[in-house]
Structure 1
Amino acid sequence: MSGALPVMGDIGQDFSCAAVFGASGGIGKALVEGLAAGGVSKIHAGSRSGAALESDGIIPFRFDYDDPASIADAVEGMGENPPALVIVATGVLTLDDGSGPEKSFKQIEPEVMARTLMLNTVGPALVAKHMLPLFPRNRRSVFAALSARVGSISDNRLGGWHSYRASKAALNMLIRNYAIELGRTHEQATVVGLHPGTVDTRLSEPFQGNVPESQLFTPERSANHLLDVISALTPTDSGKCFDWKGEEIPA
């Protein structure tokens, strides 16, 4: 990716229809709002509850990674004109029971690792399984999944957070795999991972103590940055991971 990022508002010129999986979370909700503000006329907004913002053009749907059939049903319900922009805004750092992230390999528990991989890696993979085949072959399309800088193997200097790091590294590998496969038939498609920065949400709340105020984003600020990055993507960026500034994160 090169050049200055576009200003908000460009994204509606490229995509008339989009889908956000994880639309009830802090970043996901902000992404739905940003897409609507950017001129996207139809937004499929998915969550486990099936609830979403009530606004013209926002279509709520239910999905649950623990119920793979719900993903297939949701995609089938998107009609004959499916979205050419899909954003997976789901993810977990600490499980509902308070488990994770591990600071030492001595803390590894198979159930915690399996659950983290399910939510951070397998779930987005299932969304891609059903959404990518619907992408148009004759125009631009983008599949973007929220990843994390800590999923970079070459950039890892601190260690720890084993399950979370592993799940995001695995997600980044799948993004690369899907980009290669989709590129064989969809020359204008782009598949990327996106690092949203440190965002003031429930996911990051226990770990914000050492984050400078200037580096702690509101969900709205992060979402606007991410949508600007998406607007600037080209097929040559497919298979890569970018941060909120549009800078590539090494694998």
Structure 2
Amino acid sequence: MERALVIGASGGIGRALSAALEARGVGVLGLSRSGDGLDLTDEESVARVLGGLDDPFDLVLVASGALEIDGAEPEKSVRAIRAQAMMDQFALNAVGPALVLREAGRLLPRDRRAVFAVLSARVGSIGDNRLGGWISYRAAKAAVNQIVHTGAIELARTHRHAVCVALHPGTVATPFTAKYLGRHPAVEPAEAAGNLLSVIDGLGPDDTGGFFDWAGKTVPW
């Protein structure tokens, strides 16, 4: 049986991904802060929880993240930048996935295809940024894209069958996005999960280090 590790399994997308994988007959281990005490902003927590995992996973998905932390809304302009709000964004949306990626060499098998995927966001694309705003969130997602790309280079040296990518799930109707949907069309978590898994199914080692959207199209850095 294939095995998958879903980080952030209590969130809207993480829960939907876990359910979709289980429906495929995949053995899923879902971890979250609320359910398992896995706090991605706490290095000791990540080391303790992930350090207790022994068997490898065919898929590791980091689906955690937040647009608002401690009530700090995305900035409308650079004049609204606050140091603590920016640091909080980096801690959860960039450093947290990096701490999980640090364990990838041990969590992924070396003898077969395996995927390490982090949910990023199109707004983290520097090349696609035409509106400005949301500086802290954008910067944290741009940082995690770099982390994934760098990690993929290193992982390929020891895991030649591995795929390490950043994925943009599209706009998904979850509590995460509820205040910011506006006129943007959104899909339900189950549909987003199906889209993401279809993209993952089509990825090979030549795609490692890439940034792809829910339709499998490359997103500019």
TM-score over 0.5 for the alignment? yes
Structure 2 match to 1:5? none
Q: Distance in 1 between matches of 2:42 and 2:147?
A: 21
Structure 2 match to 1:124? 97
1:134 aligns with 2:119: no
Of 62-71 and 163-172, deviating more is 62-71
Structure 2 match to 1:151? 124
Q: Deviations over 1:209-238 (max 9, x none)?
A: 221xxx310001001100111111101111
Structure 2 match to 1:75? 50
> Per the alignment, in what secondary structure is the counterpart of residue 216 of structure 1?
coil
Q: Deviations over 1:180-222 (max 9, x none)?
A: 11111211011001111100111111111221xxx31000100
How far apart are 1:75 and its partner, in Å? Answer: 1.9
Structure 1 match to 2:14? 28
1:86 aligns with 2:85: no
Q: Deviations over 1:63-116 (max 9, x none)?
A: 11233222222223323x2212100001111113x2120011110000000000
Contact 2:56 2:106 in 1 (8 A): no
TM-score (norm 1): 0.85
Q: Deviations over 1:124-162 (max 9, x none)?
A: 000111233332221011100000011111111111100
Q: Could you tell me the percent identity over the aligned residues? A: 50
TM-score (norm 2): 0.96
Structure 2 match to 1:227? 197
1:66 aligns with 2:2: no
What is the aligned-residue RMSD (CA, Å)?
1.2
Please give the residue correspondences for 1:154-169 in structure 2 after superposition, counting only pairs within 5 Å. Answer: 154-169=127-142
1:44 aligns with 2:29: yes
Contact 2:41 2:95 in 1 (8 A): no
Q: Distance in 1 between matches of 2:51 and 2:151?
A: 21
Q: Which amino acid in structure 2 is aligned with residue 75 of structure 1? A: L
How far apart are 1:62 and its partner, in Å? Answer: 3.3
Q: Distance in 2 between matches of 1:132 and 1:149?
A: 27
Structure 2 residue ranges without an equivalent (≥5): none
Structure 2 match to 1:242? 212
Please give the residue correspondences for 1:155-194 in structure 2 after superposition, counting only pairs within 5 Å. Answer: 155-194=128-167
Runs of 4 or more, structure 1, over 3 Å off, are none
Q: Distance in 2 between matches of 1:109 and 1:39?
A: 45
Q: Which amino acid in structure 2 is aligned with residue 105 of structure 1? A: V
Contact 1:124 1:145 in 2 (8 A): yes
How far apart are 1:44 and its partner, in Å? Answer: 1.0
